[in-house]
Structure 1
């Protein structure tokens, strides 16, 4: 196969290969190295005998990444939290990783997995590579490869839940601070344009009213919530207004995409008794 034609075929797969390598390795520099090694191996192979070039390249990149991970563990390199992910993913060919659910915190969690667990999880859960194709890469049976991915998935799910909860806390804390300070502009930045404020009958009896839209909800809270304190409400970020140590009103927040999409004011005593409230 003509080298220029082969290079063009390789470039068709570069974005995908970078995505695979970056998610396995966690750094842009190493991902680029893995892709370069894959090209070298392709250029030395009999490309005419390769039926599925994309699959072949994915397997090669995965093997290269596995070797790099194992070498990294041996060298005991610095942890991923010392890296700057913004610098690592700049450049047009790296756009594939921007906006991905794998942020720095989750990359750090990935780095705690064994190389085989990490590779099995990334290939299967992120790129839908079958376990019978993953198995020979990690030197395991398909069933064992499935277990590797399953263990990694449980770790990642726990990390995602923790990261989501931390982000919710940040948003709620910022909302309460803006509310107390009467910072209308800050409230608007924290509220989804179609945010809804819901109140139960007991809260309505105290003068609270439902509202829809960022402007209306921001006006409702600007300069208020002075006595509300951050809390975990059934494990989610929220707030509580208490009198004499007894909760009187609970604020439940629904956060999506870094913005508040719903606030529920709950004041019914029976409802409050059923909630698990923890200081935050």
Structure 2
């Protein structure tokens, strides 16, 4: 054994050769790359740039765009105007319909008022006519003549068809009065007279105006049982009845009394006709 074997060495250990060589290679490669890059620097290609051209708005295109905008605005205005016109037309139609309905209502009301006034005037005329007849008969003592004649002419003196007519009308006393009634349980004045004479085969007109001229005119002072009495003028009478003798008559008077038998003084007639 060497006498120096236990003396420690102060020298650093030697690096491994492979690591040193690797480092030298790397450094050499880097330097080579830098050298090559430096040598080739002036020959490098310039970067490529691409220019995108934007379309240019020409004067013609600007005019077309403006015209299109104007046309769109005009269409909007036209639509608004049309909507306003449609709304105005609808309002006018509604107003016209309402005015027409109001005119129809007023016309109907006027028609009803005229009909009511006419009916009232006719009723007043009938009352006036009856009053005039009564006044005339009273002034001329006609009612006295009628009463004296009636007292001398009783129903018991009636014979034949006249007796049958009298029996018919007396049988209906107490029945109701109905305008247009022709029996068997309700009558108006001319309907009762027509039915009574039809029972003996005599066909009379339906209404009082025609019945007042159906036979021979006779004086109220010369009445006979079975004569037709009328109130109003001959040909324009508004009421009829049948003289039954004894100074009395039977008639369908009105809705309040119905068919009644009354003395001539109760409602003096205007005239009489004889059919039988």
TM range (shorter): under 0.3
TM-score by length of 2: 0.25
More helix by share: 1
TM-score by length of 1: 0.25
Larger RCO (CA within 8 A; separation ≥ 6): 2
